[in-house]
Amino acid sequence: MTLCLAKYSALESLAAAAQPAHRLLALPRTEPFDYDAPSSKAVADAQRSLPFLTQPATFVLPDASYRRNLRGASFLICKHAAVPGALWKLRAPADKPRQRNRNPIPAASEAVQGLPGTSSPAFCLAQLGTELPFAQLAELACSLTGLYRFAPSRTGSILDAAPIATLSEMRGFLERHSSIAGSRNARRALGHAIERLGSPAETALYLMLCLPRRVGGFGFPHPVANGTITPSSSRRVRVSQSEFHPDLLWPKARLILEYDSDEHHRLPQQAARDAKRRNDLEILGFDVIVATRAILRNVSLFDKMANQIRLRLGLRATIRTEKWLQQRAELRQLLLSPSLNSHYWR
């Protein structure tokens, strides 16, 4: 039989698939899985082939009759594990021959025994929709569709990774299978997520600004993350780049919000390039606001920045009630402070 990962174990496998060092691919699966009662050997093979999995690993089963009390494993029972699109396959990429006259290194199906399957991003989001707070579920939806990858073994985030899924793909699966436990919460979170965010900090910045006021956000309209700005031919000669990809862009307001992380902007050369880039964007007619880690973490500084954005977006000031201030504090706690499981997506 093939075991299939669920919940946080599935997130670890999807994260590892973005890292060359793990030599792992996560791919949509069209053929059905062959379910049977799991065995100790199958669990051991899965753990051996994916040594980064946090123990005990969680596997999904379509029926409680398959459940077994096995060391190092816990099981999620969900009848929707058998529906199309719920599960993906994991495999190692095939290597090319090292030398012309030698046989190629075997492909994953031959060289790696015991690789389990994994829950698809949408199915995984629904599984966690029954336990994560709304803000963290939206954060997870952003990370699954972002340009960065959460890393297994708590080693920090990996930047410059391809998105695992799209919002429309995940929404389509959850709408087709709306009776999955957690599906409603997951679809609600997807409605407040945007694609192509570039880091966990950018995701937190976006959510605190744009989540509805009823959950502690400022309720700003959704920006475009890492979209493309192409200068017109007349302005191209005045700037240093043929394309710009700002962190957050409100196109109609011609407003850009850039995030400068401490760890990526220490070198003077990098600072000079960033300053030149912002000057170029202002030449193209955009207002540029810069957020830093200090602004993100300081309530007063963040409020001043949010007010700047509000004015440039042409939005009216809203009354700050005691209830909203409490909700904002709770939202900041969820998005900026470590929690029991937040290391799986940030």
Give pLDDT tens digits for 263-272: 554 567 777 8
Q: Of the ranges 60-74, 122-136, 188-202, which one carries the lowest mean pLDDT score?
A: 60-74
**How many of the other CB atoms lie within 10 Å of CB of 236?**
13
- What is the per-residue pLDDT for 32? 66
* Residue pLDDT, tens place only, 167-187: 999 999 999 999 999 999 999
Instruction: Determine whether 19 is exposed, middle or buried from the number of CB atoms within 10 Å of its CB (0-12, 13-18, 19+).
Output: middle
pLDDT surpassing 60 at residue 112 = no
Q: What backbone torsions phi and psi does residue 225 show, to the nearest 5 degrees? A: -95, 125
Residue 144 has pLDDT above 50, yes or no: yes
Model confidence band, residue 151 (pLDDT cutoffs 50, 70, 90): low
Q: Determine the pLDDT at residue 285.
A: 96
Q: Is the pLDDT of residue 249 over 90?
A: yes
Confidence of residue 100 (pLDDT cuts 50, 70, 90): very low
> Angle formed by the axes of helices 167-176 and 121-128, to 10°?
70
- Check if the beta carbon of residue 147 is closer than 8 Å to that of residue 159: yes
